[in-house]
Structure 1
Amino acid sequence: MNKARIKRMLIFLLNPIVLYLKKNIEYLRMKYTKYLDRPIYDKTILFEAYSGQSVTGNSLALFEEIHNDSRFKEYRFIWSSIEPKKERKALSQYRNVKLVKKGTVAYVKYLARAKYLITDTTFPHYFNKREEQSYIMAWHGTPYKTIGKDVKSSNYDSHKNVMKNILHTDYFISPSKYTTDTILNSQTSKDLFSGEVLELGMPRVDLTYNVNAEDLKMKMNIPLEKKVVLYAPTWNDYSQDINQSVSELVRDAEQLQMLLGNDYLVALKVHYYEYQAISNMNTECYLVDNSIDTNKVLQISDYLITDYSSVFFDYLGLKRPIYFYFKNYDEYSTKRGLYLEKDELPGPTCSTIDKLAELISESTGILEDKYFPMIERFSPYDDGKVSKRVIDYIFFNKKQTLGSIYKTETTKEKILIYGGYFKNNGITESLIRLTNQFDYEKYNLTIIIPSIVPKNSGVEKVIDRLDPKINLLFNNNRINLKFNEEYQYKLFMNRGLNGIVKKLNIDHIMYRGYKQIVGNVKYDKVIDFSGYNSFYGSVFAFSNVKEKITYLHSDMKKDKERVVRGRRPNKLPLQLMFSIYKYFDKILSVSKTSHLTNLSKLGEQLGITNKMDYVENYLDAERIERLSEEYQEFNILNQKVLIDNVNLEDGVLEFKGILKPSKNNNNYVTLGRLSPEKNQELLIRAFKRVLNEEPNSRLYIIGEGTQRKKLMTLIQNLEIEDKVILTGHMDNPYYLLKMCDVFVLSSNYEGQALAILEALAVGLKVISTDIPGPDNILKQGYGELVEATEIGLSRKMISVIKPEKKYKKFDPYLYDEKVKERVKSILE
């Protein structure tokens, strides 16, 4: 046994042990997953507020209503808290209550086994609701500042855990249609959310209506005769220094108190993080204890001051004056974004403490006309009985006469697609074109994005091209596994469903992984468009979806053995995929000839012949024609240069300049990833032979990849640097294609060779090595096939470029129509 194999075995054996012994998030994940297979605690409710930061808000309101209801006397109540010691006193008055520290084994046990889960934010990224559980989400406020995908400065995937939690939710509690639509749309969840929307009001506002004002004032040591001015700003997540931020808050509160005088008491209520900092300051500012719920404090407040906080929506029902104090409105509204304009707000706005004190001092208590329509729009059902209505419906199925209960889930056929990592390659391009021609009146599409999406990244630019009607489901979380399943999963990934692995519990593991991604969503079809990712291929294969489709983008058996830098990157993934093809209903190649190749090599061997078919990639002729005419050129150093990949960032303009093909030259071009199977090395060597006879020739190689350095070295060794242009990736390659004369494909194998169709669409003559995929196209009279040798390819390049060589005219629009019909027949 060689050293490399011993090393792999040791890693295989030790890695799960190391993860377990570290007692970190992976240890908790293992424990959580173990508890997922244990029986449910039937009469047990887990409560969590603000991710465990406090015992307040909607979760507290629902808890108090449930706890005081005799129908729940046999229930156990579990509260999750980051600091249980701080909350123990507040909860000591209640019976059957247990506090657990968030991020502990006790926490994940109840997260996995409690029958009911109630939160106002989200549970951790490893959360995977069981079918026997009921998940109740009562979001922590009506949005004023933008959230989710609407945040101007956020990444595409910044809301992924919120979206995931919503997809696992059974009951979404909301105070208004505005709140429902804003939250679900901002998390790209509205069409997919399969639970019920309970627009019955904001539960936490019950705390406002039901608290005794005099008792609370006494508890807070506030004289009864004082007029209370509550200053409740939002957490300023755009402040770089929290100490500077809280110092400004305290200074503002102190100055306002001084200006208003002794008849008033200015009470500062701040975010959890800011509270910790202010508690350690030497100040006379009245700081509201963080353990006292904000909504209770609203009842004793004669005036409310806020900025971007949603607290003013909760205050509307009291019909008391609201003031908006903005210190950085332009910056905040630009970076974060706001859903309401200034003139829509239910009270005056100002930017100085002096003006704020003047407004409060001169207040007559008469509200602006726009105040009352806002109550109807944002809090029409807040009457102090919201929690009771929610509980009666969820736990006792009692119909409600006040409010509205409904579903937002689309009635269209839902399709879930995995298409890879959205790199600039042929599979990504084919997927975008396929989805752009879907009938969105009939289908609702979701695409899994399995990676982070940084701002201004290449992945972001590719995603921008997707139809906005597509739901994007971001998932780069690790699959949940028990300790022993770590070994089973790795065996499966390394060996596929072969040998001893067949006896393991793989179907259960991967089905659970599927549910971890999609939650409660019931998809009608799943499509593994990538065809190379063994994880997503497996979760799709073992899902409970009624129709499962996977794609074969090349000669898959040959691709399995492809060598890149001395390794075979596709060997293990495709070995696994071959072993689970039988679980798919349709296995689609992307051309007729590649279908016949895969059929002969895999069909009978794997017992999948009757499932195999083909559907060509969509071309999008209209887009290609339009882009082939869109280009810019400049004269630089007496040379005509084409401008591509233009980017303006931070005042700096960056672009790529490519020498424009001259009509006096014979211009050859190829397009594709710079990788071994594309065999651009053969093309370059053949082109060197072409130059011996036609020295006025040029070769443009469009694309980027791992072989770039190797190809550059070859070009230098052949001394043809001035004849071969490596353009790199081009956002729009079509105008350059159109300016050339002959397209040459030198690949060892292809699925369909979309680049050939693109070249034909812009009117080029085409040559390709004689391989499945291209042969299906070119044998129809559209171009030439050639043996994969330097001599054969060079001779064909010289002969094809001659004017007398004529070929059948390709109609890209007719081709697209045929593909549309083919796709339609496959989907139906």
Structure 2
Amino acid sequence: MLGINKNIKRLVLPALKPIVSPSGKIIDTYTKYFKETEIQPNTFLFESRDGQSMTDSPLAIFEYLLATDTERKNTYVWSIVSSPELDIVLKKYRSETNIIFVERESDDYLKWLCQAQYLINNATFQQYVIIKEEQTYINTWHGTPLKTMGYDIPGNPADAKNVVRNFFMSTFLLSPNAHTTNMYLDSYRLRGGYEGHVLEAGYPRIDQTFRTNHDDLLKTLFEFKRDIDLSKKIMLYTPTWKGASVNSARNDLEQIYQELASIRQEFGDTYNVLVKVHPFLYEQAAAFKKIVPYLIPDCIDTNKLLGIVDLLITDYSSIFFDFLVTDRPILFYCWDDDLYTSDRGKYFEYDELPGPVAFTIDELKKNIADLDEVTAASRSNYERFKKMFVPYDDGQTTKRYVEYILYGKMPEAQQMTVINGHSGKIKLLIYPGGMRNNGITSSAINLIQNIDTRKYDVTCFLDQSGTMEQQTNIGLLPKSTHLIFRFGNPNFTTKEGYQDLRIQARGYKNDASYPDEIYERECLRLLGNQHFDVAIDFSGYSLYWSKLILASQSKMRICYMHSDMLSDMNRVVNGRKIHKVNLRGLFSLYHRFDYLMSVSDITRQTNADNLAKYAAAEKFVYTPNTINPDRILGKLKPTTDKVINKTVLLPREGIITIDSSVPLRGYNARPDFYYAKKRTIDLIGPNVAVLGEFEMGEQTYYKISQNGCYLGWVRQDVINILPDHITDTEKVAYFGKLATTNRSQLFDGPISLDETVPLGNARYMRNLYVTVPEIISTQTNCYVPVIVGRKKYGYVPLSSIRLSYRFNQTADGHVSFGKKIGRKLLTGLDHLQHREIFKQLKEQPTKRIDFKGYYQNTLATDILCSKVPNPTAEKISIGVRELVYVHSLNTNSFGNWYLIEMEVGNFVWVEQEQLMLSNLEETRIYSNEKTFYYVDILLPEVNVYASEKDILTNNYQLVKALPLVKVVRELVTTDDQTFIQVEWQDKLVWLNQEDTENSLAYGMFNNNKDYIPYPNNAETNFVTMGRLSPEKNQVQLVEAFAAYYQEKQSGYLYLIGSGPEQEKLEAAVDKYQLNNRVIFVGQMSNPFEFMRRCDIFVLTSLYEGQPMVLLEAMTLGMSIISTDIPACRHVLEDGRYGCLTKTNDAIGVKEAMIAVADKQYEFEAFDPYGYNQKAIEHFYRYIDTDSEEEDKHE
């Protein structure tokens, strides 16, 4: 039934998307225009800040072109998002017949994107935009960066995906200075791979500052009813907004207003005190009536405005770099830097900036009062910054850019630097797989780390990296690697969607026309107009990615084959051939690749024989995988990132608790920052706003403000933090999709309220359509109820909803009849598309009461539980339990359910009527289990308990600690304390676990935190490593070891790894009564440290491509046994480096184990570094496009 539903979904979605999905309609329309329209000569499309304004460098270029286009040969198209304010600016151009304004995302906009000869943007075009070969895309960006950019920002590298995509699509990147050039090339990793040109010649927008028409600008400001006294100077404050919600915006605006009011009170006789807020904040600012008389309209060009500004006050905005050309004073007010600096670094320290830095409003006002003195002290910095950041800007920058780009006229020396981002190296495009923790990912990382970057330039083509596992692996790639991510929907029309569906489902058929065009277009969308020498599908298991690799603009295309691919296609896991559809389709495309690259010669021959009908014999080649010997041998020094204690954003109300007669001492900035200074904080009452929290050593500090003015940091003990509360409830009629992530939780109320509890993970609900009847604001954030159909399931942050523009309410809150019908249609399709999710929703708790404690159960009956709260789920008996740990009581569609602990850390669901709970009157022992590991004692003296009774009565003796002790039992009490029984000289005693830490002296902990003792050197220790899956055949290894142990009565077998065969293997261990002799190690972050302590490595695979674990064991110098299969015979060089079994069955493996354990063989030492050099050179033979063809087949 599930398969039928999936097939229906696949069949109907391509047809329905353009009808019911706004983004689907846009893509469909855009793609048709892309295919059908031709480029119109002398046409320019301008977009500034996603169409929100007509400003910045696009405006400067437009005005220059308009002024010099005396014959009106050009057509100018502006992308706009209409607003009353923008209309005031646009009206001066409305009468011009060669100036066209198109609403962003309208049909006209989509058409002009496809037919304009020049596209000019200061940010990014959306994910569906593709630049045609005949188009010129000029990206001006929007400022010299002070804060870190691109991949310099900590976190998920995929966050930069659309910026990087736009940069690679561009023909020219305009740069005002070398610092911004390096941002493009290094922070976004364009260096060596970018095929356009970085033009470093100043900023077109700065020309506007030189030629500002004061009268026109002031006239426009008066037209907007701004309060300006022409007899006074102009002071402009330009704060950057870092907020994450509308509520945060309101708090920011109140503070901006109060602080400017304080400045205006002292300096209002001399200055007009004006503010220009960040565009993200402007809509809220324009509705904040108190600030409007002093608020610069968002549609006013900032650089024109700078031409009339006498004093600039800013924080991290790039605007100050532009202002340097005026030689007028700059003051920095960075009151909130310590709220954000730990999340995102900056390129310059405060003592380098071209003006004094203030951290409180009082410090800022003092700098204004002493302006001449404080700016004189910063003059050398000012001059240095001018030379570094505005060396080209003389008012003629736009002219130079236009003449170079349009007419090829090179400016005089020193007026422009042209940087060709292309290195001239051999360019490789590599899809490394999904970057999960597996053998293919390790091999891909090893290969890329080994590639000689002096000769080769590497681009990694990646999928979205939503997990920390993927992000960590991407972080292991060399910094010179370009990163390009797949995201967004492909630009397929409905017909093309069905063509792709056919290929995906059936593969390439000789009687079908392969749609090269649609995949080539998709590559242009994702990769830009990049050209590669070699494109490599390193994964070799994905039809989707192979189609893209084949469609890339590459001279050569290679697909890796990591195994016996036919066997892998037919491999069954949990009753399913998991690779069948993908590999069947991929096989049908093999003939389109230049090489099919196996990872050993033996595997090459196997694949060539099995898959001969899909490709010519000469296409089947091989190259060995590379390894990382230093990592295997433990020679790599661990990288320790500098630990920075982050400031926790904590918007709360608080009350100062010390007597008002006692001076309140604090700091102007976070006390651990080098520039922090102690200060006395003046209050006008005990009530304050808390902004952030920070821990330093044993002390906690809070950042506070009062009446909208920031005051400083104070200690925790002088303030009482009040609970969060609801500040506003807005009734709405919104409709949209859930945009939950792996970490998203569903709550029973607004998340930040004290009484709110989580109801479960909301990841599975992603992409469900929901209605939103209200937005609830607290001091912390904005939240919405999750309503699917007519049922409320809980609450999520407003940011977890992607609102539908097409089916949402109008400005007056009205939802039309047509939109209501559309909503019902989408909701109905949701049920079709997400049937399994809707089944899961029935199990979803909608109410929860937390218990989180130990209780007595007075019912003396077997407790039947299940893994999900569903009466039809499989039941598990846990027997009679007098004591139970109850996490919570939950209500769902099926009734009320307790969530209880079956064993430590393992929770199950029990129907409410199965338990009769009562409170415990005294502390009791909840669990007392055998265990085994070692601990170090943290204190020189430690409390020792002689018995369990002493633990319950808190009767202990303080004794001198031993350096290391062995733990034999763990005991948990009902007041949630854990005690460990340890061997203490000649007796057993109990310690509180909190007084100890785990020791690695005699064992290691796996990824599940289970302790694994090191192997016993007195006996022979066998080990294997790999995924516990059928093709690895570890069941045979257990059988062989059972026979070995029966004969020898000694030895241990360690299985490192996890996988679907674990239960079957555990059953085999039970069958042969080897529970104390076969140890399931699980996954380990550093398995090589454990492997090297064992004696013999054993591999019993049925088939392999190139067994990397053998190479790793050889690198460790271990004795090795392997089944005699082609790939293993090849790696071990017919027994040179290890023993090959005489027969590939349990008897053969057992006999080999005896022979190697008895040292009947001598093996040669393996040179991992020499192997690696040969492996990478072998790889180069195929990717060096200048090599002679016969060299590749030697």
* TM-score, scaled relative to structure 1: 0.93
Residue 714 of structure 1 and its aligned partner are, at CA, apart by 4.7
The secondary structure found in structure 1 opposite 2:1079 is strand
Match of 2:1004 among 624, 627, 643: 643
2:282 match: 275
2:62 match: 63
2:1055 match: 701
**1:85-128: CA deviations, max 9, x gaps?**
65333222222333333234333222233221110011112222
Letter in 2 for 1:233: P
2:306 match: 298
Decide whether the 8 Å contact of 1:163 with 1:187 is kept in 2.
yes
1:382 match: 393
More helix by share: 1
Superposition map of 1:130-529 within 5 A: 130-152=132-154, 154-221=155-222, 222-237=228-243, 241-283=248-290, 286-364=294-372, 368-401=379-412, 402-454=415-467, 457-501=468-512, 503-504=513-514, 506-529=515-538
Q: Work out which of the two has the higher radius of gyration on C-alpha atoms and give 1 or 2.
A: 2
Decide whether the 8 Å contact of 1:700 with 1:724 is kept in 2.
yes
Matched, 1:28 2:26: yes
Matched, 1:621 2:629: yes
Q: 1:43 to 1:714 in 2, by over 3 A?
A: farther
Letter in 2 for 1:689: A
CA–CA separation in structure 1 for the residues paired with 2:474 and 2:220 = 54
CA–CA separation in structure 2 for the residues paired with 1:146 and 1:62 = 27
1:83 match: 82
Matched, 1:536 2:571: no
Residue 519 of structure 1 and its aligned partner are, at CA, apart by 1.0
Q: 1:224 to 1:497 in 2, by over 3 A?
A: same
CA–CA separation in structure 2 for the residues paired with 1:68 and 1:564 = 70
Question: Quick check: 86-95 or 255-264, which moved more?
Answer: 86-95
Q: 1:727 to 1:396 in 2, by over 3 A?
A: same
Residue 731 of structure 1 and its aligned partner are, at CA, apart by 2.1
Question: Quick check: 589-598 or 380-389, which moved more?
Answer: 380-389
Decide whether the 8 Å contact of 2:1006 with 2:1012 is kept in 1.
no
1:37 match: 35
Q: 1:31 to 1:690 in 2, by over 3 A?
A: farther
Q: 1:248 to 1:712 in 2, by over 3 A?
A: farther
2:1169 match: 813
1:125 match: 127
The secondary structure found in structure 2 opposite 1:256 is helix
Matched, 1:669 2:1023: yes
Decide whether the 8 Å contact of 1:233 with 1:307 is kept in 2.
yes
CA–CA separation in structure 2 for the residues paired with 1:49 and 1:388 = 19
Q: 1:209 to 1:774 in 2, by over 3 A?
A: same
Q: 1:750 to 1:111 in 2, by over 3 A?
A: same
* TM-score, scaled relative to structure 2: 0.65
CA–CA separation in structure 2 for the residues paired with 1:271 and 1:29 = 30
2:972 match: none
Letter in 1 for 2:416: G
Letter in 2 for 1:584: F
**1:252-311: CA deviations, max 9, x gaps?**
111111111322111011012322222222415611111211112111111000000000
Residue 60 of structure 1 and its aligned partner are, at CA, apart by 1.5
CA–CA separation in structure 2 for the residues paired with 1:713 and 1:89 = 78
Residue 700 of structure 1 and its aligned partner are, at CA, apart by 1.3
CA–CA separation in structure 2 for the residues paired with 1:237 and 1:717 = 61
Q: 1:698 to 1:627 in 2, by over 3 A?
A: farther
CA–CA separation in structure 2 for the residues paired with 1:373 and 1:813 = 49
CA–CA separation in structure 1 for the residues paired with 2:538 and 2:150 = 27
2:1145 match: 789
The secondary structure found in structure 2 opposite 1:215 is helix
Higher relative contact order (CA 8 A, sep 6+): 1
Residue 493 of structure 1 and its aligned partner are, at CA, apart by 1.3
Residue 245 of structure 1 and its aligned partner are, at CA, apart by 1.4
CA–CA separation in structure 1 for the residues paired with 2:477 and 2:1103 = 28
1:649 match: none
Residue 581 of structure 1 and its aligned partner are, at CA, apart by 1.9
Decide whether the 8 Å contact of 2:40 with 2:117 is kept in 1.
yes
Q: 1:710 to 1:286 in 2, by over 3 A?
A: farther
Match of 2:101 among 90, 99, 105: 99
Superposition map of 1:549-564 within 5 A: 549-564=558-573
Letter in 1 for 2:188: Q
1:598 match: 607
Question: Quick check: 135-144 or 222-231, which moved more?
Answer: 222-231
CA–CA separation in structure 1 for the residues paired with 2:1163 and 2:550 = 44
CA–CA separation in structure 1 for the residues paired with 2:1042 and 2:106 = 67
Q: 1:84 to 1:452 in 2, by over 3 A?
A: farther
Matched, 1:745 2:1099: yes
Residue 346 of structure 1 and its aligned partner are, at CA, apart by 0.7
Matched, 1:759 2:1113: yes
Letter in 2 for 1:474: F
Question: Quick check: 45-54 or 620-629, which moved more?
Answer: 620-629
Letter in 2 for 1:66: L
Q: 1:333 to 1:514 in 2, by over 3 A?
A: same
**1:636-687: CA deviations, max 9, x gaps?**
42796433568xxxxxxx9553210011232111111222322223323333
Measured on the aligned residues, the alpha-carbon RMSD in Å equals 2.5
More strand by share: 2
Matched, 1:690 2:1044: yes
Residue 629 of structure 1 and its aligned partner are, at CA, apart by 12
Question: Quick check: 38-47 or 245-254, which moved more?
Answer: 38-47
Residue 472 of structure 1 and its aligned partner are, at CA, apart by 2.2
**Gaps in structure 2 of 5+ consecutive residues:** 223-227, 639-932, 936-964, 968-982, 984-998, 1185-1194
Letter in 1 for 2:140: A
Letter in 1 for 2:1157: I
Residue 513 of structure 1 and its aligned partner are, at CA, apart by 2.0
Decide whether the 8 Å contact of 1:744 with 1:767 is kept in 2.
yes
Decide whether the 8 Å contact of 1:587 with 1:612 is kept in 2.
yes
1:651 match: none
CA–CA separation in structure 2 for the residues paired with 1:800 and 1:196 = 62
Residue 405 of structure 1 and its aligned partner are, at CA, apart by 2.4
Q: 1:536 to 1:134 in 2, by over 3 A?
A: same
Letter in 1 for 2:421: T
2:588 match: 579
Residue 806 of structure 1 and its aligned partner are, at CA, apart by 3.1
